[in-house]
């Protein structure tokens, strides 16, 4: 294996889980998330000679998010309830409840709103960087983020109410 | 725990550490993509069948008060050894047919006149020329800018082609900047084009300002082709910023 390829494999192994999860947060679909991460990594590999000494992870993340924002228009899907992935955590019930809550609240957002929420609160990027990565103004990031959080709050309250009503 | 904290927490605790992708497939797809870019470069460059160019898409974004800084990732396909093709400077101005690889259409050619940079690589001239390109889903991207070498017998070898990958290729302002990637037979000076009445283009690198040399495209005088003297800006060195100024020294 060429040196560049070995470097890329090391990078991809380190980055893939987080990229897949970010894609999952944006789509709600594990298969779609894996496809998107694979696409982002393939494009990263295609440009590897150029970016490997730069911010390769940032490059892959930008490809991933823009790929999903541009290409994914369907509403977020529910998790298959029978699918409980391997977890390190002990309380599987809590884990499933958290996933359901997350699915419910992210499901009300548009693709761009989800992208901004994921970049801001999962990757913890500052607003200016989110704006650059999505090629929008900082004002758009602020207003969209605020709108998204308002939706999340109202949806979160309803989700809690529903959860309590079911008990 | 606030709603935002709960959201952050939920996004993290639902990570699946074991999630992976098929790396063999990733690399296979990446190689195919790289190859497609090369082929697209060959077709788009409208130079000759078998010509393979590197495609660089670096979009330089605008900031209101500071010199422009590179905001987007670079998409690059490194070219194999360039192929010499017949001279094309005498080709007519105006649009040439868009060629698609594999369709057997006429050999592509530069649009407008070839610009001699005055830089020499042995007996070869460093030249720049506009070529027609076709980007799927982007009808307003029809041109790219190529850096090549012209031999004493007039044959032109393309080293690097840069083009927009979205938007409009004639929108005012900077478009792409081509950086040497070490894949050609001679170092390629940093180059690109600006649309508008630029009389000066100044790059910034490591706090140092470097003026570019300019030439207007013969087919559209609004398109200002620029390049940096390799003695002042080493090929491949990334600019930290770039600005254009008009004849009144007003920033564009």
Each residue of A129-158: pLDDT tens digit?
A: 998 888 788 998 999 888 888 887 877 666
| Residues A69 and A8 reside in one and the same domain | yes
The residue-averaged pLDDT of B238-243 equals: 81
Q: Which of A77, A105, A131 is the last residue of a domain?
A: A77
Query: If you average pLDDT over residues B77-101, what whole number do you get?
Result: 31
Strands B54-57 and B156-163: parallel
Do A139 and A159 belong together in one domain?
Answer: yes
Query: What's the pLDDT score for residue B222?
Result: 93
CATH code of the domain in which A19 resides: 1.10.1740
Among candidate residues B143, B146, B153, the one with its CA nearest the CA of residue B79: B146
Q: For chain A, give the mean pLDDT.
A: 78
Q: Which of A67-71, B26-30, B143-147 has the highest mean pLDDT?
A: B143-147
Residue B54 predicted with pLDDT over 60 = no
The predicted pLDDT at position A29 comes to 83
Three-class SS state of B69: strand
CB atoms within 10 A of CB A61: 23
Number of domains in chain A: 2
In Å, how far is B5's CA from the nearest CA of chain A? 9
Does A75 score more than 70 pLDDT?
A: no
Q: Are residues A63 and A95 in the same domain?
A: no
pLDDT for the residue numbered B94: 28
CA of B192 vs chain A CAs: smallest distance (Å): 18
Please give the interface size between A and B, counted as residue pairs whose CB atoms are below 8 Å apart. 128
Mean pLDDT, to the nearest integer, of B234-240?
81
pLDDT band at B221 (very low <50, low <70, confident <90, very high): very high
A21 within some domain: yes
Residue B47 has pLDDT above 60, yes or no: no
Q: Which pLDDT belongs to residue B50?
A: 29
Same domain for A68 and A139, yes or no, is: no
Q: How far apart are CA A106 and CA A148, in angstroms?
A: 9
Q: Which residue has the higher pLDDT, B42 or B132?
A: B132
Indicate the residue among A77, A106, A133 that finishes a domain: A77
Structure tokens at A32: 């779609």
Q: Which of residues 47-76 of A touch B (CB under 8 A)?
A: 47-51, 58-59, 62-63
Domain contains A34:
yes
Most confident of A52-66, A68-82, B55-69: A52-66
Q: Which residues of A touch B73 (CB under 8 A)?
A: 47, 51, 58-59, 62-63
Domain-located, residue A82? no
Same domain, A51 and A97: no
Q: At what angle do helices B3-13 and A138-166 cross, to 10 degrees?
A: 80
User: Which residue in B6, B9, B19, B38 has the most chain A C-beta atoms within 10 A of its own C-beta, making it the best mutation to test that interface?
Assistant: B19
B50, B36 contact by CB (below 8 A): no
The secondary structure of B136-198 as a DSSP string is: TTBTT--EEEEEEEE-TTS-EEEEEEEE-SSS-TTSSEEEEEE---S-SSSPPPPEEEEES--
| pLDDT > 80? residue B10 | yes
Q: Is the pLDDT of residue B251 over 70?
A: yes
* Cβ-Cβ contacts under 8 Å for A120 (sequence gap 6 or more): A127, A130, A141, A145
pLDDT higher than 80, residue A94: no
State the pLDDT at residue A132: 86
Residue that is last in its domain, among A77, A104, A120: A77
pLDDT of residue A127: 92
Structure tokens at B21: 């992708």
CATH number at residue A149: 1.10.10.10
In terms of domains, do A95 and A71 share one? Answer: no
pLDDT, chain B, mean = 72
**Higher-pLDDT residue of B91, A30:** A30
Residue span of the structural domain in which A61 resides? 1-77
Could you tell me which residue, B77 or A94, shows the higher pLDDT? A94
Reply yes or no on whether the pLDDT at B79 is more than 70. no
Position B53 scores a pLDDT of: 35
**Does residue A104 form part of some domain?**
yes
Q: Is the pLDDT of residue A123 over 50?
A: yes
Cross-chain residue pair B30–A105, CB shorter than 8 Å: no
| A52 and A3 housed in the same domain | yes
Lowest mean pLDDT among A86-95, A124-133, B29-38, B182-191: A86-95
Residue A82 pLDDT exceeds 80:
no
What's residue B133's pLDDT? 85
Which residue among B4, B26, B34 sits closest to A121, beta carbon to beta carbon?
Answer: B4
Q: What share of chain A is helix, strand, coil (3-state, %, to 5)?
A: 75, 0, 25
Decide if A121 is inside a domain.
yes
Do A2 and A63 fall within a single domain? Answer: yes
Residue B86 has pLDDT above 60, yes or no: no
Interface check A115 vs B, CB under 8 A: no
| Same-domain pairing of A123 and A70 | no
Question: Above 60 in pLDDT, residue B182?
Answer: yes
Domain co-membership, A46 together with A119: no
Determine, yes or no, domain membership for A96.
yes
Please state the rounded mean pLDDT for residues A28-35.
86
* Backbone phi and psi for residue B230, each to the nearest 5 degrees, phi listed first: -60, -20
A24 and A51 housed in the same domain: yes
| A28/A5 same-domain check | yes
Whether A85 and B11 lie within 8 Å, measured CB to CB: no
Q: Give mean pLDDT, residues A96-112.
A: 82
Query: Is the pLDDT at A58 greater than 50, yes or no?
Result: yes
């Amino acid at each position: 294996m060429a040196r560049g390829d070995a470097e890329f494999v090391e990078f991809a192994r380190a980055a893939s889980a987080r990229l897949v999860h970010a894609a999952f947060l944006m789509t709600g679909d594990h298969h779609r998330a894996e496809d998107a991460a694979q696409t982002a990594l393939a494009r990263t590999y295609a440009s590897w000679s150029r970016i490997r000494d730069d911010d390769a992870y940032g490059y892959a993340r930008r490809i991933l998010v823009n790929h999903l924002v541009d290409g994914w228009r369907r509403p977020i899907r529910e998790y298959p309830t029978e699918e409980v992935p391997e977890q390190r955590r002990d309380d599987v019930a809590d884990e499933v409840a958290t996933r359901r809550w997350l699915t419910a609240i992210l499901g009300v957002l548009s693709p761009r709103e989800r992208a901004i929420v994921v970049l801001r609160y999962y990757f913890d990027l500052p607003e200016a960087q989110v704006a650059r990565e999505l090629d929008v103004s900082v004002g758009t990031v602020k207003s969209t983020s605020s709108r998204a959080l308002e939706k999340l709050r109202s949806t979160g309250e309803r989700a809690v109410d529903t959860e309590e009503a079911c008990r | 725990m606030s709603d935002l904290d709960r959201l952050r927490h939920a996004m993290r605790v639902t990570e699946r550490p074991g999630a992976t992708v098929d790396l063999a497939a990733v690399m296979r797809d990446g190689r195919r993509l790289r190859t497609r870019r090369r082929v697209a470069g060959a077709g788009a460059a409208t130079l000759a069948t078998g010509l393979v160019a590197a495609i660089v898409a670096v979009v330089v974004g605008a900031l209101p008060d500071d010199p422009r800084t590179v905001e987007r990732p670079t998409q690059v396909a490194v070219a194999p050894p360039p192929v010499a093709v017949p001279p094309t400077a005498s080709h007519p101005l105006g649009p040439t047919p868009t060629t698609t690889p594999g369709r057997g259409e006429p050999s592509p050619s530069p649009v407008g006149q070839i610009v001699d940079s005055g830089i020499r690589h042995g007996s070869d001239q460093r030249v720049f020329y506009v070529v027609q390109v076709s980007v799927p889903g982007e009808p307003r991207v029809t041109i790219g800018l190529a850096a090549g070498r012209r031999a004493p017998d007039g044959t032109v070898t393309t080293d690097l082609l840069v083009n927009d990958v979205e938007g409009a290729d004639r929108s005012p302002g900077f478009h792409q900047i081509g950086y040497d990637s070490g894949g050609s037979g001679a170092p390629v000076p940093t180059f690109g084009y600006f649309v508008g009445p630029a009389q000066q283009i100044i790059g910034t690198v490591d706090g140092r300002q470097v003026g570019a040399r300019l030439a207007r495209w013969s087919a559209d005088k609004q398109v200002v082709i620029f390049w940096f003297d390799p003695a002042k800006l080493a090929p491949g060195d990334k600019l930290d910023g770039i600005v254009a100024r008009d004849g009144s020294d007003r920033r564009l």
